[in-house]
Amino acid sequence: MEAYYQPSNKFSPLSFIYFLIACIALIPILALIYSYAIWYIPFPYINFFITLGFGFAIGLLVQKLAVGLGKVRNNTLAYAFGFLGALAGLYLSWAVWVDLVINAGETYGSDRIGFSVSNIKLEQVLELALQPGILFEIIGEIMNVGVWGFRNTTVNGWFLGGIWIVEAVIVLFMGTTIPPGKSSEPFCELNQKWFEERQLPAMSFLEPPMRAVSRLEDNDYEALKGIAHVPNPTTENHSIFTLYANETNENYLSIQNKRATTNNKGETKFTDRDVVTYLRINEEFSNFLESI
Report the alpha-carbon distance of residue 168 to residue 207 in Å, rounded.
Answer: 41
Residue 73, domain member (yes or no): yes
Among residues 145, 161, 183, the one where a domain terminates is: 183
Helix (H) or strand (E) holding 198: strand 196-199
Report the alpha-carbon distance of residue 25 to residue 261 in Å, rounded.
Answer: 44
Residue 262, domain member (yes or no): yes
Residue 9, domain member (yes or no): no
Judge if 27 and 150 occupy the same domain: yes
Sequence-distant (6+) residues with CB within 8 A of 163 are 155
In this predicted structure, what is the pLDDT of residue 258?
94
Can you say whether the dihedral through the CA atoms of 185, 186, 187, 191 is positive or negative?
negative
CB 92 within 8 A of CB 120: no
Judge if 60 and 196 occupy the same domain: no
Q: How many domains does the chain have?
A: 2
Residue 1, domain member (yes or no): no
Residue 39, domain member (yes or no): yes
What pLDDT, in 10s, does the model give residues 37-58? 998 887 778 999 999 999 999 9
Average pLDDT of the residues in 199-217: 81
Judge if 54 and 116 occupy the same domain: yes
The answer on pLDDT for 133 being more than 90 is yes
Residue 6, domain member (yes or no): no
What pLDDT, in 10s, does the model give residues 2-48? 889 999 999 999 999 999 999 999 999 999 999 999 988 877 789 99
Sequence-distant (6+) residues with CB within 8 A of 255 are 206, 209, 216, 239, 240, 241, 242, 274, 275, 276, 279
What pLDDT, in 10s, does the model give residues 68-92? 999 999 999 999 999 999 999 999 9
Give how far Cα 219 sits from Cα of 186, 202, 213, 245, 284, Å.
18, 21, 10, 16, 9
The answer on pLDDT for 111 being more than 60 is no
pTM to 2 decimal places: 0.88
Domain that residue 248 falls in: 187-291
